[in-house]
Structure 1
Amino acid sequence: MVPSSFPVTRPSRTVDPEASLVLVGIRGCGKRSMGFVAATALKRRFITEEHYFKEVTGISRHEYLQQYGSHEFQHRDIEVLKLMLENHRTRCVIECGLGSLTRPVQEFLRQYSATNPVVYLLRDIERIQSLLGFEDQAVKRLCEGDPLHRTCSNFEFYNIEERSSVVNQTDEDAPDRRSVDYSFKLKAAKEDFTRFVCLVTGTEVDDSAYDSPFVLLETPPEQRSFTHAIFVRSSDLIEGAVNLPELESGGDAIELRVDRWGPGMASTVSKQVSVLRRNARLPIIFSIDSTASGLGRDRSPAEVREVYFEVAEHGLRLAVEYLAIDLLQDPDHLQWVVGNRGMTKIIGHHTYEPEERVAWDDDQCVSLYLEAEKLGCQIVRILRVATEREDNAALAKFTNKIHLGRTSQVFNSILTSVTHPAIDRANDTGRNPEITSRDAVQALFQSYVLDPLQFYILGASVAYSLSPAMYNAAFKHCGMAHRYSIPASATLSALDRFGRDPHFGGTSVVQPWRVQVSQKLASKSRHAEAIGAVNTIMPLRARPDGTMFPLHEQATRRNQAGPILGWYGENTDWVGIVTCVNRNLSPRNTISPLKTTALVIGAGGMGRAAVYAMLRLGCRNIFIFNRTRSRADTVAHHFNSWAGSQVVHVLQSPDEPWPADANPPCVIASCVPADPAGTEPPANFEMPPQWLGSTTGGVVLEFAYKPLETPLLKQMRRLRTETGRPWVLVDGLDNVSEQAIAQFELLTGRKAPRRLMTREARRCFSDASGGGSGTDQMPTVHNYTQPQTLNIHVR
């Protein structure tokens, strides 16, 4: 049933995963760029109105206008646009041009959005004016028709600008990623829009594809233990009270509470969601404060209800991961929202105010949960202010009644609302959370719910490792009482000693044991299996009866001590490589299975991870060179057998010419260790000039960082200066921090403080070279009177 106040023509978001995705918006909003991104992410054909018009009529739109005049052109343009949409209803990404501003096309798009995702793209008008060079009057006319796109679309995406890019930077600074804020133009937008279209269509994001219960991206927050949602009000963002880059850690999701609404706020909120996604890289919980003065306090109950569901509908348009709806709102409206949620998960929410005098043992609480379950909510969130100690016991009794949940805000297991040090609110409404994720995690350790664990690094030459500095800084930042250190005994047999310590949390594994250690594992991820090398070992713990917990339960028991029965092996080296390539490979060199060539130098554990990373990125033409050819042959045979085709080829000598039947490499990974073990050469490799024929440059990943400026990087700087080709150079510190960030999340189940770990790696490296030092003190935990929280995952 559709509520009477909701127009029947209101578009649906329940679409076939194969349905073509359509982009609409005014000129300059980025339809062409985002169309290419979407087509690449979804592996679909990209169709533009300009190209299709010429395909149908035989001439360009401009030529048609000149030959037949504006009236006939407009008629024909609308006709062709409808034909384009009708003939390509599946497996395409379609860009609509100016025709989307006409009434006939908009009406057609309204009907089209009943079966297909139609995405309205917005952008800052100042940026559009700058791009198009329009005068103010022309921009005003452009803006007048733009809001009509919202009426004929069912999704919305705000295309925000990059925080930084190589544009307007000097060649000396641009191609080297020395700053944690560095990105290529369109790189961040590409990541944002890729995730957006995958959410809209229900397609899996292909940058991790881990299939492991230990990986954060693979396990939604509601299925992990003690997750937190950073609480941000829309008014906080409007007033500039949030230090956005700092939101990257300190929570597992962001809850955006909309507390202002009115003319123009729809676009403002759309931008806020994009800004939060860009900076935090976390799922968004979209909620509504109907009691706020900026949203509903001065309106009649009927008006409040209409505004409430107008805002809720807008949240669904933005394809947020979660939408929180008040369970006491109009039932017909609630049913409509749940039925048109698309891929968004619904949190059935209600807050009992103290004056309502509703206790946990009242039948009303159980009825509310059952109504939410019947409605089809994926999560139920009930909040109530505790007034006496007995309330905690009553909450425990209530949760036992429905067989789910944990007591109090600190001990609530699913998406507890928390604040963040980056949020500086001038006024406290009394309804904002006061503890941070770090406060809550630290309290869990102090209450012995979580246990301090010991982590190590195993390898032949780890005295200079940056991992202890990165990990220990991250532990402090997250409020965790763990410790990461270098073991006294630098041998693989130390693993047996670790297995006798119930407080052992896991270990990093580096050269030369990445391959050898696989023999000691009880289980490993499919990626570690495919690579044939492991860089992360995690303990598999025992139940009280001596049997082993199943793997999915092992993931929920991270940060808890216990007897160890075996080892689980993972590999994050390939994840770091994928991240570095994606962030630094220019749009001109976007990986194509047929055209792109990759080159890997070295055939050890890191070389294996590099080959696998190239395969995961879509490259199907990979060359490997190693001083000992037999080792390169072994690696090539391993991956060709795994892939079922000849994708990895061995180069025999640095003196041979580049193979004539292959494009020169635009992705180069040097995996030669800085401190050689056995017969491995040191990191003094330089590329044979005849192998550097890529006219569009590419990206060079150097894994050695001792010294940081290796012979290969020096050579490539000279080549870039001499030829002007845009080679991007990624040094060893970049790679080591990226794999450590992924590894931290595997071992702890917490979102890594990416910027902090990257800065700490460079600070520690600088200190070792004679630089300064820094500290990161953990604040004390304060006691607050907080509402009791019960978040329940409806299974």
Structure 2
Amino acid sequence: MLDWKSHLRGPVDAKSPAATLDPLRNIAPPAMHASEPTAPRIFDPNVSLVLVGIRGCGKRSLGFVAATALRRRFITEDHYFKEATGVTRHEYLKRHGSQEFQRRDIEVLKMMLDNHRTGCVIECGLGSLTRPVQDHLRRYAQTNPVVHLVRDIDCIQQLLGLDDQSVRLLREGDPLHRTCSNFEFYNVEDRTRIVSDDGSPDPRSAAYSFKLQEVKEDLTRFVRFITGVDVNHSSYDSPFVLLETPPELRSFTHAIFVRSSDLIDDNVNLPELESGGDAIELCVDRWGPDMATVISKQVSILRRNAQAPVILSIDTSSTGINTTNTSVSQYFDILEHGLRLAVEYLVVDLEQSPSRIPQVIRGRGKTKIIGQRLFEPSSPVRWTDEECIVAYQEAETIGCQLVRFLRVATSRDDNATVFEFTNRVRSMPGSHPPLIAYNIGRLGRTSQVFNSILTSVTHPAIIRPKENERDAQITSRDAVQALFQSYVLDPLQFCIMGTNVAYSLSPAMHNAAIQHCGMSHKYSIPDSPSLAILDRLRKNPNFGGSSVVQPWRVELYHKLAAKSRHAEAIGAINTIMPLRGASDGTIYSLQEQASRRNQAGPVLGWYGENTDWVGIMTCITRHLSPRNAISTKTTGLVIGAGGMARSAIYAMLRLGCRKIFIYNRTQSRAEEVARHFNSWASFQVDSADVVRVLNSTQDDWPDDANPPSLLASCVPADPDRDEPPANFEMPLQWLGSPTGGVVLELAYKPLDTPLLKQMRRIRSNTGRPWVLSDGLENVIEQGIAQFELMTGRKAPRRLMTLEVLRNYEGDNGRFDEKTIQARLDGVCS
């Protein structure tokens, strides 16, 4: 693989300006305390984002990633210095000496910031450790996001080969960046993977490796969140999709409760956290020197493993944290640090210095504030008291986005009275913040089950040597099982429709996930492959939804009462769900349908969705290298013209590719697909020429387009109508991309298709970094999206992947355990 990072960075040696200067000469002021004004975190949409940090923290690499994610120009200090002075920084230092170089370096850095206040991602060098630049950055942070990048100092020492004295200076200087930035991102190392003998990245290889893949995804989500740019990048625009609907607007959501001490003491099996909660709550229960960096790292680690929103809370009763008059500022320092980390939710104790809470709310940025009150057993306030209503209204008045009231249960009767309180709040006229209210402790478990929003739950992956009565007592699985056992939720029947589905991997994948989540549903293959099954399903009040495969993706599209805008754009579906309604025949709104997903009732119509494009988009995003980041010059190529080809084209369009070619053996079908998308694009992306047809595999690649770097073969393994089988090989004249790209093979019977074999040969012969994704990867990704769509529960990704790999049977039989593990590491990490 090409090392694009070293190409940008250049060599680091002892004679470079960065190694020669002592950036601590002009020491900056001490760190900001919560008593000072909170940094602003809401900005105009297009303002530039600035990255600061010590050497080796990843500013250059991650700056490139951030610029790609935000589709902005990337400006580095080295490049700008040469642009401004006509010589490199090293040459300037040799000519003018250290003192003049430092003066000019500071001057140029300020110019770089001032001249690029919008539309850029800017990397600042070591000048950010000097007093003049920090003063400038502090003012800059009033209007722009300034992100402090942090990285493990031992990793930096190993990366740069620094001596202990240099490391000491960096260690002392890095905290100064907190004084001049308003955000912080901890650059967690990607998990180690074995590199194959030829150094090639290949998800089908046991030695699959892709540099910066995980941190690329982490930082992309982070910068989109803090800038507000395309926060919901998938843009499903559907209440059925978990990414589109916040947990507080869904039914019976859970937050996995993890203490910071659990992570410090290594009591958490982190990879297992990817399922079992709709959010993850990190409770800070230790504080002291260096804990800010520890919490930064913990937030990044939890985000990577749980792939869920983070709630940050503080346990003031724990060691090292209290709220006496002398240390109340410490509590607000922790809150401020949580805002710097851009956690999705921050819990604020409404009884802690109420006069200072509005300051926290003003600086929250995109973070949602959960105003909390915890009623101790000694508290005279009961759920039925008017004081509870007044406290809720006060939390709303000061600007909390959610309100959480907890009470240590002293009797089971408390579980009945908390329901009275929640019903009173829900009956209040008008719109109000979502309420989280339940009892904690063993006696409060009933109220925990029936609380609908972000109940704190524990997880089998968390092993605590000593049980805390106030910690979460039930798991998400416990709660969901109890909801089915109490008939709040109903067992539903799911299936797959289409021809040749006997070998489908969907039942194994979905049933394993259903059981893992504690639901009572069942997913099966119908006895009859006929479309007449729709009439039977419509009469079944316990029908929950169905996967749809060839040849009915397009045919069923025309039988829908409602569909997502994505299914409409594609003109094909792969998922149908029942639309239910009231006894008078009125169909519920889609938002209501989504909240009733796990409840039976009369079927009044069908809703159609497509997750094939989601799987394709996920695979492209995962494997696309920064050098092939999608731009106005990017070209895509799709082989085939069926429902899957339509999904591939749509996925490429959603990712920003505006020049896509389609080839199909029957040209008229390709032309039909091209007309469909060009008509759609004329209204959506202001262009009527996004998809063009290639007439023959003998033709040269068009002169007016770059060779494709996004390739998707959508030729089915089991052909329908006049489609050829999956034996397509790519014409060599279409493979001219000098930087390679991503090749998606969507057929998986056989798994190792002629196209994949061809691309491995070409990669070996040319050295071009083509990354290959076989059909199983897309089966898994679209199935994960489909499971979440139909059930409303967060999918156990690793388990569903494991079930597909264990049940897949190819020409050479089933995978052995070593191959399964290697593919798990490649797909799930």
Normalized against structure 2, the TM-score is what?
0.89
Between the aligned partners of 2:85 and 2:61, the Cα distance in structure 1 is 25
1:759 to 799, 802, 807: 802
The one-letter amino acid paired with 1:175 is D
Between the aligned partners of 2:565 and 2:227, the Cα distance in structure 1 is 26
2:338 to 315, 324, 329: 315
1:121 to 149, 162, 171: 149
Q: Is residue 2:326 matched to residue 1:283? A: no
Higher relative contact order (Cα pairs below 8 Å, separated by 6+ residues) = 1
Between the aligned partners of 2:413 and 2:492, the Cα distance in structure 1 is 33
C-alpha spacing 1:174/1:104, structure 2 compared with 1 (3 Å): same
The one-letter amino acid paired with 2:662 is I
What corresponds to 2:300 in structure 1? 274
Do 2:374 and 2:405's aligned partners in 1 also have CA atoms closer than 8 Å?
Answer: yes
Give the Å deviation of 1:661. 2.7
1:612 to 645, 650, 653: 650
Deviations 1:56-78 (A, max 9, x none): 22222222212221111111111
Superposition pairs of residues 13-52 of structure 1, within 5 angstroms = 13-52=41-80
Deviations 1:270-318 (A, max 9, x none): 000000111111000000001001323xxx7113422111111100000
Report the more deviating stretch, 10-19 or 601-610.
Answer: 10-19
What corresponds to 1:783 in structure 2? none
Give the Å deviation of 1:173. 7.2
What corresponds to 1:421 in structure 2? 460
What corresponds to 1:597 in structure 2? 635
For 1:706, what is the secondary structure of its paired residue? coil
C-alpha spacing 1:467/1:46, structure 2 compared with 1 (3 Å): same
Do 1:705 and 1:731's aligned partners in 2 also have CA atoms closer than 8 Å?
Answer: yes
What corresponds to 1:383 in structure 2? 406
C-alpha spacing 1:165/1:33, structure 2 compared with 1 (3 Å): farther
Q: Percent identity?
A: 67
1:145 to 150, 158, 173: 173
Do 1:183 and 1:584's aligned partners in 2 also have CA atoms closer than 8 Å?
Answer: no
Do 1:456 and 1:485's aligned partners in 2 also have CA atoms closer than 8 Å?
Answer: yes
What corresponds to 1:328 in structure 2? 351
Between the aligned partners of 1:23 and 1:232, the Cα distance in structure 2 is 30
Between the aligned partners of 1:112 and 1:696, the Cα distance in structure 2 is 37
The one-letter amino acid paired with 1:194 is T
Give the Å deviation of 1:768. 9.4
Give the Å deviation of 1:81. 1.4
Superposition pairs of residues 255-266 of structure 1, within 5 angstroms = 255-266=281-292
1:224 to 230, 250, 263: 250
Superposition pairs of residues 4-83 of structure 1, within 5 angstroms = 6-8=34-36, 10-83=38-111
Structure 1 unaligned segments of length 5 or more: list them: 775-795
Q: Is residue 2:668 matched to residue 1:622? A: no
What corresponds to 2:696 in structure 1? 653
What corresponds to 2:197 in structure 1? 170
The one-letter amino acid paired with 1:381 is R
Give the Å deviation of 1:573. 0.4
For 1:729, what is the secondary structure of its paired residue? strand
Do 2:141 and 2:182's aligned partners in 1 also have CA atoms closer than 8 Å?
Answer: yes
Between the aligned partners of 1:145 and 1:606, the Cα distance in structure 2 is 53
Report the more deviating stretch, 310-319 or 45-54.
Answer: 45-54
Give the Å deviation of 1:690. 2.2
The one-letter amino acid paired with 1:369 is Y
Deviations 1:321-340 (A, max 9, x none): 00001111101221111111
The one-letter amino acid paired with 2:806 is R
What corresponds to 1:634 in structure 2? 672
Do 2:34 and 2:333's aligned partners in 1 also have CA atoms closer than 8 Å?
Answer: no
Do 1:176 and 1:729's aligned partners in 2 also have CA atoms closer than 8 Å?
Answer: yes
What corresponds to 1:510 in structure 2? 549
Between the aligned partners of 1:43 and 1:722, the Cα distance in structure 2 is 33
Superposition pairs of residues 150-229 of structure 1, within 5 angstroms = 150-165=178-193, 168-171=195-198, 174-177=201-204, 184-205=210-231, 207-229=233-255
For 1:302, what is the secondary structure of its paired residue? coil
Between the aligned partners of 1:389 and 1:9, the Cα distance in structure 2 is 45
Between the aligned partners of 2:630 and 2:363, the Cα distance in structure 1 is 36
Between the aligned partners of 1:197 and 1:627, the Cα distance in structure 2 is 43
Do 2:717 and 2:747's aligned partners in 1 also have CA atoms closer than 8 Å?
Answer: yes
Report the more deviating stretch, 47-56 or 248-257.
Answer: 47-56
Deviations 1:710-756 (A, max 9, x none): 12122222222232322222111111011000111111111111111
The one-letter amino acid paired with 1:738 is E
For 1:663, what is the secondary structure of its paired residue? coil
Deviations 1:387-444 (A, max 9, x none): 3333233222222222266871101000000011111111222221121101101110
Give the Å deviation of 1:206. 5.9
For 2:449, what is the secondary structure of its paired residue? coil
What corresponds to 1:781 in structure 2? none
Between the aligned partners of 2:816 and 2:791, the Cα distance in structure 1 is 26
Superposition pairs of residues 312-461 of structure 1, within 5 angstroms = 312-403=335-426, 408-461=447-500
For 1:456, what is the secondary structure of its paired residue? strand
Between the aligned partners of 1:492 and 1:178, the Cα distance in structure 2 is 39
Superposition pairs of residues 741-756 of structure 1, within 5 angstroms = 741-756=784-799
C-alpha spacing 1:687/1:156, structure 2 compared with 1 (3 Å): same
Report the more deviating stretch, 87-96 or 743-752.
Answer: 87-96
C-alpha spacing 1:530/1:183, structure 2 compared with 1 (3 Å): farther
The one-letter amino acid paired with 2:550 is Q
The one-letter amino acid paired with 1:462 is V
C-alpha spacing 1:752/1:414, structure 2 compared with 1 (3 Å): same
For 2:185, what is the secondary structure of its paired residue? strand
C-alpha spacing 1:56/1:767, structure 2 compared with 1 (3 Å): closer
Deviations 1:99-143 (A, max 9, x none): 101011111111221222111000111221122121222222222
C-alpha spacing 1:89/1:173, structure 2 compared with 1 (3 Å): closer
Between the aligned partners of 2:132 and 2:36, the Cα distance in structure 1 is 19
Report the more deviating stretch, 280-289 or 202-211.
Answer: 202-211
For 2:649, what is the secondary structure of its paired residue? helix
Q: Is residue 2:759 matched to residue 1:716? A: yes
Do 2:232 and 2:243's aligned partners in 1 also have CA atoms closer than 8 Å?
Answer: no
Q: Is residue 2:723 matched to residue 1:680? A: yes
Q: How many residues align?
A: 765
Structure 2 unaligned segments of length 5 or more: list them: 1-31, 428-434, 439-446, 683-687, 818-829
Deviations 1:624-661 (A, max 9, x none): 11111100010011111111221211111122222233
Report the more deviating stretch, 230-239 or 580-589.
Answer: 580-589
Give the Å deviation of 1:182. 5.9
Q: Is residue 2:723 matched to residue 1:695? A: no
For 1:185, what is the secondary structure of its paired residue? coil
What corresponds to 1:305 in structure 2? 328
Superposition pairs of residues 550-561 of structure 1, within 5 angstroms = 550-561=589-600
The one-letter amino acid paired with 2:488 is V
Report the more deviating stretch, 217-226 or 120-129.
Answer: 120-129
Between the aligned partners of 1:19 and 1:614, the Cα distance in structure 2 is 27
Normalized against structure 1, the TM-score is what?
0.93
Between the aligned partners of 1:389 and 1:355, the Cα distance in structure 2 is 16
Deviations 1:567-586 (A, max 9, x none): 11111000000111111122
Q: Is residue 2:567 matched to residue 1:528? A: yes
For 2:243, what is the secondary structure of its paired residue? helix
Give the Å deviation of 1:771. 4.2
Do 1:164 and 1:182's aligned partners in 2 also have CA atoms closer than 8 Å?
Answer: no
Report the more deviating stretch, 550-559 or 378-387.
Answer: 378-387
Between the aligned partners of 1:432 and 1:206, the Cα distance in structure 2 is 32
The one-letter amino acid paired with 1:289 is D
